[in-house]
Each structure stands twice: as structure tokens, then as C-alpha cells.
């Protein structure tokens, strides 16, 4: 069964450093998402992406964040200058269609630790 994959599983970085989190969505899916979950808190939407551009973004997704689909398979989230409060699990999700009935499938996540 196809699944979303994410690398690395755990990333440790120093405050102020840039990190890139990688995702490979399910192959026939067209809509991609990033969510994050701070330890003990709820899953929060960051950004949605379709047709090589951002569709929607939340207030969390400020100028420090960017997303890219550099090739036909990868979908990346870049944090330019990490802060302590960026420490969280970051989940990539994908879905085949948009609209009310899309079912989003999540990758295993990347645990980002900012020291």
C-alpha cells in the first residue's frame, strides 16, 4: 500500500540554523500539506500546496518558512533560521483531490529539536 515517507526521522539543530525537512507524497496525489505538533499539543496546519504553489497558509507559516517541490517526487519544508519554539513533530500529508471529501494521509513525521 502506498504511503507518505519523510526524512529525516529526527533532526537536531542549533538555534539560528536552517533546516530542510523532506517528504515524498503518495505518487498519484496532487495536494500536499505540512502540519506540526508541539509536544503535548494539537496538530496544527502550516501550509497547503498544489500545482507548484502555496494554496493556503496559517499564521504560523511566516517568512521563516518556505515550501518547494524541487522535482517530481519530493516536497520540502525549509525553516530559514530556527527558533527554540520550532521544536516539534512535523508531518507531511497528501491527498489525491481537493474539496470537502479529501482524505489526507500522513507521513511518519520528522522530530525537530532546536537547541
Partner 1 sequence: QKEVEQNSGPLSVPEGAIASLNCTYSDRVSQSFFWYRQYSGKSPELIMSIYSNGDKEDGRFTAQLNKASQYVSLLIRDSQPSDSATYLCAVYKGSQGNLIFGKGTKLSVKP
Q: What is the contact surface with partner 1 in residues (CB under 8 A)?
A: 31, 33, 35, 41-45, 48, 50, 55-56, 58, 89, 91, 95, 98-109
Q: Which is nearer to partner 1, 19 or 31 (CB)?
A: 31
Indicate left, alpha or beta for 38 from its phi (over 0: left) and psi (-120 to 50: alpha): beta
Q: Which is nearer to partner 1, 7 or 102 (CB)?
A: 102
Tell me the closest approach of the beta carbon of residue 81 to partner 1, in angstroms: 25
- The whole-angstrom separation of Cα 107 and Cα 4 is 5
Q: Which is nearer to partner 1, 3 or 18 (CB)?
A: 3
| Alpha-carbon separation of residue 92 from 15, 58, 64, 81, 100 (angstroms) | 23, 15, 18, 20, 19
Which residues are paired to 12 by β-bridges?
113
Tell me the closest approach of the beta carbon of residue 62 to partner 1, in angstroms: 16
Tell me the closest approach of the beta carbon of residue 82 to partner 1, in angstroms: 21
Tell me the closest approach of the beta carbon of residue 24 to partner 1, in angstroms: 14
Cβ-based neighbour number of residue 89 at 10 Å: 16
Amino acid at each position: 500500500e502506498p504511503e507518505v515517507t519523510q526524512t529525516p526521522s529526527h533532526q537536531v539543530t542549533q538555534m539560528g540554523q536552517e533546516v530542510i525537512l523532506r517528504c515524498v507524497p503518495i505518487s498519484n496525489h496532487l495536494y500536499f500539506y505540512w502540519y506540526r505538533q508541539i509536544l503535548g499539543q494539537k496538530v496544527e496546519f502550516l501550509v497547503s500546496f498544489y500545482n507548484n504553489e502555496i494554496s493556503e497558509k496559517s499564521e504560523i507559516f511566516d517568512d521563516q518558512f518556505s515550501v518547494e517541490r524541487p522535482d517530481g517526487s519530493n516536497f520540502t519544508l525549509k525553516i530559514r533560521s530556527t527558533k527554540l519554539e520550532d521544536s516539534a513533530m512535523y508531518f507531511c500529508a497528501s491527498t489525491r483531490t481537493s474539496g470537502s471529501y479529501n482524505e489526507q494521509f500522513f507521513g511518519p513525521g520528522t522530530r525537530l529539536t532546536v537547541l
